[in-house]
Structure 1
């Protein structure tokens, strides 16, 4: 089971996706904790999520941990799952109202980063950490 979680290929370019996805999530998670009124609980309250104080910190911590794991290529597939869920919830809670009130073009414009992060996370779930990852080192050593 563990070997399936850390399994990855020899791709040397996956690190590019890991750096982008991991770096953005790490940064966003830190900002949710540093600036809760505009990035964390305050934003969650504005969009109508329940328990915004709890979920602002909860999501921020997950973004920090999973972003760091992805940057390192450590348990990459596992770390991508919460990030996929976060992005699906973000799109559902913040972008559907844009579609209803402003139309498809504004939705597409406003959600481009969300889609990039969702698809980047999905890529990492499918491919794993790539050649330059802790997952690959563990695989080579017989896990």
Structure 2
């Protein structure tokens, strides 16, 4: 089971996706904790999510932890799963309203980072961490 989680290929360019996805999630997670009124609990309350105080800290912590794991290439497949869920919830809770009120093109414009993070996370779930990662080093040790 562990071998499946850390399995990756020799792609040397996957690090680009890891750096983008990891850095954005770490940054967003930190901001949810530093600025809870506008990025964390306050925002979650505004969009009607339950238990916004808990959820703001919970999501922020997951974004930081999973983002860091992706940055260093450790358990990237596993770490991408909560990030995919976070992005799907973000779409469902914030972007559907934009679509209904302002239309398709405003939805696309306002969700470009969301799409990049969702697709980058899906890419990492499918491909793994790539050549320059702790997962790759662990794979070599297991052989």
TM-score (norm 1): 0.99
Aligned pairs for 1:24-39 (under 5 A) are: 24-39=24-39
Name the SS of the counterpart of 1:50 in structure 2.
coil
1:108 corresponding residue in structure 2: 108
> Does 1:123 pair with 2:128?
no
Segments of structure 2 that go 5 or more residues without pairing to the other structure are: none
TM-score (norm 2): 0.99
Segments of structure 1 that go 5 or more residues without pairing to the other structure are: none
For these two proteins, the number of residue pairs brought into alignment is 143
Deviation per CA, 1:53-77, whole angstroms, max 9, x where unpaired? 0000000000000000000000000
1:54 corresponding residue in structure 2: 54
Name the SS of the counterpart of 1:49 in structure 2.
coil
- The 4+ residue runs of structure 1 with deviation greater than 4 A are none
User: Using the alignment, how far apart are the partners of 1:44 and 1:78 within structure 2?
Assistant: 25
User: Using the alignment, how far apart are the partners of 1:48 and 1:127 within structure 2?
Assistant: 35
Give how far 1:41 is off: 0.2
User: Using the alignment, how far apart are the partners of 2:115 and 2:91 within structure 1?
Assistant: 8
2:2 corresponding residue in structure 1: 2
